[in-house]
Structure 1
């Protein structure tokens, strides 16, 4: 494990361009962590879904991305935060195939499967924060 963990970078997601920038930043961090191409793709896909959710359902927000080291492992942590309406039924929102819009319904549940750690903090009227971490194998 070479180099120091990379400090957090905060990216505003207020338009489609922010979703593209989120993917690009996550790709850079995943490469710095030396994820395999398959693991990079999983993390970038999860980031893309969560950034799109932040924009579409949360009305925009931020992604905070960093390289982290914990217990001798190195990974990439992404925190997506918005001040949107929040999620009333978390279990339903995490069900494969369920969608509150016109999407495929794989955003939250699919993202959860693509990463190693997934934490969803939401409440109606308070917004949503999703924290995901992928560890180098």
Structure 2
């Protein structure tokens, strides 16, 4: 069974809405408070990247239940400028906005898997998954 919901990211308030949606979906799937915090932090980072770099995009959250396994999938999609060097943005401390550079490497640490597809001038899709243990 799969249950999908999404938030369009246009304003900073949409980042808050995406976080709240993620927390609610994680709770509904049975994640504890620590994993809920990890998931919402990852969502916040992905949504903020959309807001800062692409201006507009979508955070989609899927609750997936296959047999006895459950996971939450977060898909961040935008039609922004794209990521020129994915390997570089995955380095700790790398930042194009003057921030801490914990962004995408932090998302990778918080979630169980992270996949980045980006095409210059077309946009970026990032898929992150967290399995319920």
- Tell me which interval the TM-score lies in, with the shorter structure as reference length: over 0.9
Matched, 1:63 2:51: no
Offset, 1:71: 5.7
Matched, 1:24 2:9: no
Q: CA RMSD in A?
A: 1.2
- Supply the distance in 1 between the matched residues of 2:121 and 2:91 (Cα, whole angstroms): 21
Give runs of ≥4 in structure 1 deviating > 6 Å: none
Count of equivalent residues: 133
- Supply the distance in 2 between the matched residues of 1:122 and 1:41 (Cα, whole angstroms): 27
User: What secondary structure, in the 3-state scheme, does the structure 1 residue paired with 2:117 have?
Assistant: strand
- Supply the distance in 2 between the matched residues of 1:13 and 1:70 (Cα, whole angstroms): 29
User: What secondary structure, in the 3-state scheme, does the structure 1 residue paired with 2:6 have?
Assistant: strand
1:19-43 CA-to-partner distances (Å, cap 9, x unmatched) read: 0000000000110111111111111
Offset, 1:10: 2.0
Select which of 10, 13, 30 maps to 2:9: 13
User: What secondary structure, in the 3-state scheme, does the structure 2 residue paired with 1:46 have?
Assistant: helix
User: What secondary structure, in the 3-state scheme, does the structure 2 residue paired with 1:110 have?
Assistant: helix
1:31-89 CA-to-partner distances (Å, cap 9, x unmatched) read: 01111111111111011001100111122200111101246310111110000000011
Select which of 8, 27, 44 maps to 1:48: 44
**TM-score, structure 1 normalization:** 0.92
Residue ranges of structure 1 left out of the alignment (5+ in a row): none
